């Protein structure tokens, strides 16, 4: 193999592919990035076996030569070194030449690196997916969907299926949900169907995969094509393919959890509420349970309090609007509410309670395509 590649494009694509490589893998070949040079261009692959990313750099793109192929071939180079080296090379192009014994010489400007590589034939093949269930969604919207759900996945491995975001179809499009059993984030999204009969459920994507995908997604309305199979999901972003394993297990049925009526409800301004809770959390964090108390004190004010035996107490009154229903005292995990408020783009939210011991709902006032559900905390 002998190729000369545009440095900027190489840096960009190696950085993406390296996201799939884990330094903690037990399979030595997976610490590397696979390079395959064909007449059409150069393909880079990184994988930790759960997650695989493949980037293709075409020989020519928009009349610009990106890869000059002197000789076809392939090699696997240690991601840790290769990606750092590529980033710091001084020239405009990178010349990579593979010798016997899987050694590669990398030349750029005045720099000459010789790296020990690994046998590319040992590198596992990427899954071949049956492209039956296909849909598309703009990159920026997908990024928003991930941002508004993935924070709520469980970090505990006791119920592995809860460490992922569940996606399923309804009449209109996609329903995405994440829960750690104390809070739930639900987000609906319209999609463009690629298959005529687009129906699926219990497709659970690992939260970690979505976080990595989110870093690659750009702020553009260009489409991502998504292919769903029984145990894999594939995101196609132009010349980049992002594969993730799906989580096994039955995801809980979400629709039955969401109360469809309320005993007490009012409207609050999102940002002031967030700041009040952040202040209250300064004390409750110490007690390690993040407990914050809310009490209605009139038809246009609620009181937020938090107490730490050791440190002290905080009390704050905030203005409420459109108060409806009974008086209420309730305690909750303040950090969970803060996490949700941070991803709500609306200036105002409606908060709906069904009693001091029942789950409650926060919805943005100007949108009905997402909501957050929380369990209260018993304080006695």
State the nearest-atom distance from the C-beta of 75 to its own copies, in Å: 12
Task: Please answer whether residues 224 and 146 qualify as being in contact, where contact means their C-beta atoms are separated by less than 8 angstroms.
Answer: no
State which residue, 90 or 128, has the beta carbon closest to its own copies.
Answer: 90
Nearer to its own copies among residue 238 and residue 312 (C-beta):
312
d(CA 83, CA 33) in angstroms, rounded, equals: 9
Least distance from its own copies to the Cβ atom of residue 86, Å: 10
Nearer to its own copies, 232 or 307 (CB): 307
Query: What residue ranges bind its own copies (CB under 8 A)?
Result: 78, 81, 84-85, 88-90, 103, 110-116, 275-276, 278-279, 282-283, 286, 310-318
Q: What are phi and psi of 257, to 5 degrees?
A: -80, -25
CB of 141 to its own copies, least distance (A): 33
For residue 248, give the DSSP letter.
Answer: P
The full DSSP string for 99-150 is -GGGEEEEEETTEEEEEE-B-GGGSPPPP-----EEEEEEHHHHHHHHHTTG
Choose between 103 and 240: whose C-beta lies nearer to its own copies. Answer: 103
Smallest separation (angstroms) from its own copies to the CB of 221: 37
Q: How far is the CB of 67 from its own copies (least distance, A)?
A: 23
Exposed/middle/buried for residue 339 (C-beta within 10 Å: 0-12, 13-18, 19+): middle
- Environment class of 158 (CB within 10 Å of its CB; exposed 0-12, middle 13-18, buried 19+): exposed
Residue positions counted in the chain:
380
Measured from the CB atom, the residue of 76 and 210 that comes closer to its own copies is 76
CB of 37 to its own copies, least distance (A): 20
User: In the complex with its own copies, which residue's Cβ is closer, 148 or 276?
Assistant: 276
Q: Do 93 and 278 meet the contact criterion of CB atoms below 8 Å apart?
A: no
């Amino acid at each position: 193999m002998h190729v000369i590649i545009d440095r900027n494009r190489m840096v960009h694509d190696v950085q993406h592919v390296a996201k799939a490589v884990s330094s903690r893998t037990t399979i030595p070949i997976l610490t590397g990035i696979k390079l395959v040079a064909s007449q059409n261009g150069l393909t880079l692959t990184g994988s930790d076996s759960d997650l695989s990313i493949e980037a293709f750099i075409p020989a020519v793109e928009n009349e610009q030569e990106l890869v000059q192929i002197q000789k076809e071939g392939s090699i696997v180079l240690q991601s840790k070194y290769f990606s750092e080296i590529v980033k710091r090379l001084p020239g405009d192009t990178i010349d990579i030449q593979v010798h016997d014994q899987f050694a590669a010489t990398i030349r750029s400007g005045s720099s000459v690196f010789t790296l020990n590589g690994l046998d590319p034939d040992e590198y596992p093949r990427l899954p071949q997916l049956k492209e039956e269930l296909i849909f598309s969604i703009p990159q920026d919207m997908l990024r928003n969907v991930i941002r508004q759900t993935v924070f709520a996945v469980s970090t505990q491995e006791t119920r592995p299926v809860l460490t992922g975001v569940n996606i399923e179809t309804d009449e209109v499009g996609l329903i995405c949900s994440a829960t750690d059993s104390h809070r739930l984030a639900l987000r609906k999204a319209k999609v463009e169907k690629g298959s005529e009969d687009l129906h699926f459920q219990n497709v659970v994507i690992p939260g970690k995969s979505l976080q990595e995908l989110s870093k690659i997604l750009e702020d553009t309305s260009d489409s991502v094509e998504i292919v769903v199979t029984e145990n894999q999901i594939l995101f196609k972003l132009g010349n980049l393919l992002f594969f993730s394993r799906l989580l096994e297990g039955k995801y809980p049925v979400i629709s039955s959890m969401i109360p469809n009526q309320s005993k007490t409800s009012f409207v609050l301004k999102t940002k002031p509420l967030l700041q009040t809770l952040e202040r209250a959390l300064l004390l409750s964090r110490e007690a390690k349970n993040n407990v914050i108390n809310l009490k209605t004190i009139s038809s246009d004010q609620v009181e937020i309090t938090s107490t730490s035996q050791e440190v002290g107490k905080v009390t704050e009154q905030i203005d409420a609007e459109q108060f409806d229903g009974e008086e209420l005292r309730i305690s909750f995990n303040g950090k969970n509410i803060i996490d949700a408020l941070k991803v709500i783009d609306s200036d105002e939210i409606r908060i709906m309670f069904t009693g001091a011991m029942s789950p409650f709902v926060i919805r943005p006032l100007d949108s009905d395509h997402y909501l957050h559900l929380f369990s209260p905390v018993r304080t006695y």
